[in-house]
Amino acid sequence: MITFTFIFLTALFISSAIDIWLNQRQLGSIDAHRDAVPARFEGHISLESHQKAADYTSTKIKVGTWAGFYSLVLLLVWTLGGGLDLLDEYVRSLAWSPLTTGVVFILAFALLGSLLDLPFSIYSTFVVEQKFGFNKMTAKLFISDMFKQTLLMAVIAAPLIWVILWLMQTAGSMWWLWAWAVWIGFSILMMWLYPTFIAPLFNKFEPMKDLELKAAIEGLLTRCGFESNGLFQMDGSKRSSHGNAYFTGFGKTKRIVFYDTLLEQLSTNETLAVLAHELGHFKRNHIKKRMLVTFSIFLAGFALMGWLAEQAWFYEGLGVSQASNYVLLILFMLAMPAFTFALSPIMSMYSRKHEFEADDYAKEHAEAADLISALVKMYDDNASTLTPDELYSSWHDSHPPAPVRIAHLER
């Protein structure tokens, strides 16, 4: 017990120390280049915009550092501080069946976690994003979103939790394999449900209004051999002025969605270039590859959890006095990030490789200059830093840094 407690605390200390060190490197890099726009972006991004991006990024890192300390304290309170034990004791006192007790325990933990994270969520939205001119969220909409998310969690997550706990209770020593299969089925189901039933609860999706742009996009889709269930624009501007575009859905429910803010920023050719990049992810099978990697990682995770279920030291070393299937699920979720932190740069490298490949595909079906122009506008409008620390970026960023990505496009 004491040995695993020491191992856990050591892993937690190392991962936290590395994170703080990388944050300081990022802050140093941004501050060192704050007074001059990088040569490649001169004439395209003003010094005022460059400094806004530097200040915005620095502010988010500083707030994120404090949020990290706060999360670390909460983690220790939940585990070694006896928080999970107290919650478990209360839920058990209600004297429900084991499965109902487990579902209620996990949902209660998730609800409490959301409430405890609320101060930083409010500060990020109504202070940081507001200060830099990005927030469009009202207090009424914020509360409405929170209510909908909580209701969805109860309606969607509760049956999944019940099935997994039932498998843990009845499927024998190989329960973890069956639970993994259920999780895969659930993930695929959500990919199908999300664009049609869930996303519309939060945003309004309309067919693309610009008929000229729509015709140009449909021509690109035809040339690339891509079939979708429609082109939509989303009212992202009701929450934020940040712009984006994405694919969503699975099989016949695939759809292409543009934020209304992005459509206002980009010309027709620039929009086509951005879409060609997104199509590159599909045509290069990145979505399937990422699903395969994710499913494999979760298979390993479920297998490890199946072994840990029988290890008393795992529960005791993390401050839990009474082992149970539902506590195992929460403990595993809380403890694993401290041990998997080192995987971050590997996953980031894998993701950046896909971004380069998607850019290469975009160059085959659109002008590289249009994609570069679109990216520069998006960096500018979203206040993305142009001078990240190389090590920080390689650890945290799923996309290549702006100078590296544009240099790749120009080659």
Q: Per the residue annotation, which of 235, 278, 360, 397 is the catalytic one?
A: 278
Segments in 194-324 forming alpha helices (H):
211-224, 260-265, 268-283, 286-308, 312-317
385-395 b/e with 16+ CB inside 10 Å = b? bbbbbeebbbb
Q: Per the residue annotation, which of 19, 355, 359, 380 is the catalytic one?
A: 359
Amino acid identity of 110? A
Cα separation, 362 vs 370, in Å, equals 10
Segments in 309-343 forming alpha helices (H):
312-317, 325-340
pLDDT tens digits, residue range 314-351? 999 999 999 999 999 999 999 999 999 989 999 999 99
Virtual torsion, Cα 62, 66, 72, 74, nearest 10 deg? -150
- Answer whether residue 254 shows pLDDT above 90: no
The pLDDT of residue 172 is 92
| Active-site annotation holds for 359 | yes
Cα separation, 287 vs 6, in Å, equals 39
Closest CA to 235 of 342, 137, 368, 336: 137
Using pLDDT thresholds of 50, 70 and 90, give the confidence band for residue 35.
Answer: very high
| Active-site annotation holds for 227 | no
Beta bridge partners of 234: 205, 259
Q: What is the pTM of this model?
A: 0.89
189-200 b/e with 16+ CB inside 10 Å = b? eebeeebeeebe
The pLDDT of residue 142 is 94
Cα separation, 276 vs 52, in Å, equals 29
The pairing of strands 255-259 and 205-207 is unpaired
pLDDT tens digits, residue range 112-142? 999 999 999 999 999 999 999 999 999 999 9
